[in-house]
Amino acid sequence: MKIVLLGTGDAVGTPKIGCRCPACLDALDGGASRRLRFSILVEGPEGKVLIDTSPDLRWQMISNRLDHVDAVIWTHGHYDHYAGFGDFHRVQNHVPVYGLKATLDYILQYLGFLKPSRHDVRLFQSFTLCGLEFLLFPVTHPPLKESVGVLIRENDKKVIISGDTNEHIPSQSLEIMQDADLLIVDAIVPPGINLAKHMNSEQASELARNLGAKKTVFTHISHLFPPHDQAIKTWPLGKDGMEIEI
């Protein structure tokens, strides 16, 4: 399978409107600090699955030469993770969408005009898309009552996408997340900044060590990190367009 990080930014992206911090200036100059909002493309042997649909999805699809996807999985009902689905208007009809019932209920109040093919998924129950096995597990992203991470398997290969979460991940989920070949993990800010909704890079690094991940990539990254080329010397930050073969 191939994983493509279409967008590695947080809810406001980088550059943040009106900001002139070092990372935003680098982004404005076309540097690697430029981050669109969160979306991940998963390419399996039988098609392509989107994990979340960024508000920047139109440009993500154009710049990555995507003209369709075979399914969408939504991890939770925050704007920066679903709003771009509207860009399928007049592009692709009846897209199959997957997620927890309450998450789909909320998102489809806004996006139901596209008449997607709805598939309610239960926690810890696997399902198959595009020749890959998927499973949703709960994480903790207050004040939301439900937010999920995603397990993806192909044969003996295992990918974990943490989803938006703080460090208080349920024990059953931590068991599922163990020993991943690739861990893509929420790490929104550098050490020393503590947020209720997300992990900082120190917390994300500790999680990766405890889980025994073979490879770790940070995503959902804010402009509060140093410019990307400097920050990557300390932290395993992903960047937009990054491709990882598993």
Token look-up 């699809």 returns 61
Spans of all domains in the chain: 2-245
pLDDT of 205? 98
Token look-up 């198959």 returns 128
Contact (Cβ atoms closer than 8 angstroms) between residue 225 and residue 190 = yes
pLDDT of 104? 98
pLDDT of 80? 97
For 2-245, give the CATH class: alpha beta
Cβ neighbours of residue 143 closer than 8 Å, sequence gap 6 or more: none
pLDDT of 167? 95
Each residue's pLDDT tens digit, 157-187? 999 999 999 999 999 999 999 999 999 999 9
Cα 109 to Cα 90: distance, rounded to the nearest angstrom: 19
Token look-up 């704007």 returns 79
Residues of the chain with pLDDT under 50: none
Q: How many CB atoms sit inside 10 A of residue 127's CB?
A: 15
Contact (Cβ atoms closer than 8 angstroms) between residue 162 and residue 139 = yes
Is the entire prediction scored with pTM above 0.75? yes
